[in-house]
């Protein structure tokens, strides 16, 4: 059940309490979320949270577990970034956001990872899953097993990419569980390289596609270098993002952000909340010096949805962000 505190002060803002009772999050009127959390990436200590154990649907944030399994296989010597992967018909017929893979094409693991992380390509995600296991179902079983090993006890995956429709079933998780996944991923430099790149030329040649990263905080929040956004009709807008300032890294998760105004306002609200989670999380750590130009929070104490990181997007950006 989603929470929504109505008009509290100013022009229709609402607030909820920080877990420690000392700070508050300010939400815009008509905006709700399934959960939010900010943690210290090094220790895992919770800096800020609200309803972090409520269930929600992660949409394309699901791809972070696919990324982790591939990177762990690379670390174990079972595959490599340069390994060629031949595209199957099953991978090519995926809908939603895609890079229009065709059966018989071949790409390196690295290229498909960039497609999955920057462009949220569902076809690339399935291609990677099928390369690591003999069926998508077996790969999803691996995802769920790894989730349990990481203590993601309220998480259940049904896809390698978060692409679900209608009544589902849908991938299900919590903000706290996603923070645990992100903390593990941040131990892999490759994860930040892949998710922090702002653009990538995929399939060089006559059918090339320039992939732009869907995480707009990479351009607006100092020190932000990952990780993944997601949106579907069923799941609303989610993000797992991270920033490193003065040697200290924080991870912020916003799950299931919904604006009454529609999809793009939901995504912009998600980004603003994630930015303020990181901003105030870094201040909570007490390691931010005046030389670091962080976005200005609405107040010194409350964790707020500031307007500083809002970005107007085009119709084409909207199409790219679907799934």
Say which of 120, 259, 266, 306 is annotated catalytic: 120
Alpha-carbon distance of 323 to 177, in angstroms, equals 21
Q: Which has the closest alpha carbon to 60: 263, 271, 255, 261?
A: 255
Alpha-carbon distance of 89 to 249, in angstroms, equals 40
Alpha-carbon distance of 311 to 309, in angstroms, equals 6
Tokens of 199: 């653009």
Q: What angle do CA 73, 71, 60 make, to 5 degrees?
A: 120
Q: How far is CA 218 from CA 12, 197, 212, 226, in A?
A: 29, 9, 11, 7
Say which of 63, 228, 244, 258 is annotated catalytic: 63
Alpha-carbon distance of 224 to 289, in angstroms, equals 17
Q: Any alpha helices (H) in 133-225, and if so which ranges? A: 136-149, 175-185, 189-196, 217-220
Alpha-carbon distance of 131 to 87, in angstroms, equals 9
Q: Say if strands 303-304 and 24-28 run parallel, antiparallel, or are unpaired.
A: parallel
Quick check: is 43 catalytic? no
Alpha-carbon distance of 244 to 221, in angstroms, equals 10
Backbone angles phi, psi at 61, to 5 degrees: -60, -20
Answer yes or no: are the C-beta atoms of 174 and 154 closer than 8 Å: yes
Quick check: is 259 catalytic? no
Quick check: is 50 catalytic? no
**Exposed e or buried b for every residue in 36-49, given b needs 16+ CB within 10 A?**
bbbbbbeeeebbbb
CB atoms within 10 A of CB 220: 16
Say which of 14, 60, 97, 266 is annotated catalytic: 60
Cite the active site residues: 60, 63, 120
């Amino acid at each position: 059940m989603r929470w929504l505190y109505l008009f509290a002060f100013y022009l229709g803002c609402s607030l909820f309490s920080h877990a420690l009772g000392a700070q508050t999050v300010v939400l815009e009127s008509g905006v709700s979320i399934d959960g939010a959390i900010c943690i210290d990436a090094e220790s895992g200590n919770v800096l800020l949270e609200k309803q972090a154990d409520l269930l929600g649907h992660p949409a394309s944030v699901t791809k972070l577990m696919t990324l982790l399994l591939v990177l762990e296989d690379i670390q174990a010597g079972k595959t490599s970034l340069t390994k060629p992967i031949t595209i199957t018909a099953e991978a090519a017929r995926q809908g939603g956001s895609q890079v229009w893979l065709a059966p018989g094409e071949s790409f390196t693991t690295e290229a498909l990872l960039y497609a999955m992380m920057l462009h949220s390509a569902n076809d690339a995600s399935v291609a990677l899953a099928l390369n690591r296991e003999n069926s998508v179902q077996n790969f999803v079983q691996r995802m769920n097993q790894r989730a349990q090993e990481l203590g993601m006890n309220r998480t259940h995956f049904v896809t390698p990419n978060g692409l679900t429709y209608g009544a589902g079933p849908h991938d299900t998780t919590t903000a706290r569980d996603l923070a645990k996944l992100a903390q593990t991923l941040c131990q892999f430099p490759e994860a930040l390289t892949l998710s922090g790149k702002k653009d990538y030329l995929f399939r060089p040649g006559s059918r090339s596609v320039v992939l732009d990263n869907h995480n707009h905080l990479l351009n607006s929040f100092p020190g932000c270098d990952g990780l993944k956004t997601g949106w579907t009709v069923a799941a609303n807008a989610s993000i797992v993002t991270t920033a490193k300032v003065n040697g200290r890294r924080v991870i912020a998760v916003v799950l299931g952000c919904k604006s009454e105004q529609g999809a793009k306002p939901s995504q912009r609200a998600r980004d603003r909340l994630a930015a303020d989670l990181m901003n105030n999380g870094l201040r909570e750590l007490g390691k931010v010096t005046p030389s670091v130009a962080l976005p200005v929070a609405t107040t010194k104490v409350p964790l707020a949805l500031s307007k500083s990181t809002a970005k107007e997007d085009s119709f084409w950006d909207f199409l790219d962000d679907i799934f």
